[in-house]
Amino acid sequence: MLYFILSLVTSTLGSLIGIGGGVILRPSLKLLGESAKSAAALSTFTVFIMAVISVYKYNKSKKIDFRTGIKAGLLIVPGSYIGTFAIAYVAESFINFTYLFVLFILICLMFFKEKIHKIEINYFFKLIISLVIGFCAGILGIGGGPFLIPLLMFVFHTEIKKIPGTSVFIVFISSLFSLVQHAADGNIDYIKALPLAIAAIIGSVIGTRLNRKTDGKTVINLYNIIMILLFLGSLAALTLNL
């Protein structure tokens, strides 16, 4: 029941904002006793289910920039696959510290968004950035959503109203390949995954409906608040475990 509620909340927020929900779900599962690898696998599974429904809903509302999504996802997919594969070869402490560092960078990017938004980046560096984002998404098991909001804003200059839908579309692509790798490695406990999946379906429907009633700036502000809260919570948890 607890897993169901957790998935419902994270999938609703993930679908509404476009972050996928893995960035919230993964650390929450760890707090409930899952190992880093198990949490990443269950998180990826849940995010994928959420993304499937959300892409369908956002597409009906014409809120997905598929052209940008395909460009941004061009190297996110192989990067995500490599990151998922690398989980078996890195220490759990490295994954935890990487997660915290990534949250800090994302917060800094959004804090200086007015200056960064004006920077023009050539296509080669866009591809490199996409590859790095995919790798981080795979190794952290978060589907890439938290990275994609800044990526779409600053690198691809996507319309703000289409950012959540386009982000979820890329999350769908990246989480699919990560999910295949997790399944091949036997990391997914399908008994635990079932309630997570059911809640993800419900949450994605709720999230996309809420998005239709929320303006773009409010969505970005919600993203910023969630990132800050996650960073503070993760920092506190990591400090207590040292």
User: Can you give the residue ranges of every domain in the chain?
Assistant: 2-241
Type and span of the H or E element at 143: none
Residue 36, pLDDT score = 76
Residue 4, pLDDT score = 94
Residue 182, pLDDT score = 83
Model confidence at 103, pLDDT cuts 50, 70, 90, reads: confident
Q: Which of 84, 33, 49, 77 is nearest to 186 (CA)?
A: 84
The single-letter code of the amino acid at 207 is G
Between 80 and 210, the more confident residue is: 210
User: Is the pLDDT score of 218 beyond 80?
Assistant: yes
Model confidence at 147, pLDDT cuts 50, 70, 90, reads: confident
How buried is 98 (Cβ within 10 angstroms: 0-12 exposed, 13-18 middle, 19+ buried)? middle
22-36, 107-121, 158-172: the lowest-pLDDT one: 107-121
Residue 205, pLDDT score = 95
Residue 64, pLDDT score = 94
134-138, 151-155, 223-227: the lowest-pLDDT one: 134-138
How buried is 115 (Cβ within 10 angstroms: 0-12 exposed, 13-18 middle, 19+ buried)? exposed
> Which residue shows structure tokens 């960035």?
23
Average pLDDT over residues 196-224: 91
Q: Give how far the C-alpha of residue 151 lies from the chain's centroid of Cα atoms, to the nearest Å.
A: 12
Residue 184, pLDDT score = 85
Q: Which of 44, 84, 61 is nearest to 200 (CA)?
A: 44
Model confidence at 55, pLDDT cuts 50, 70, 90, reads: very high
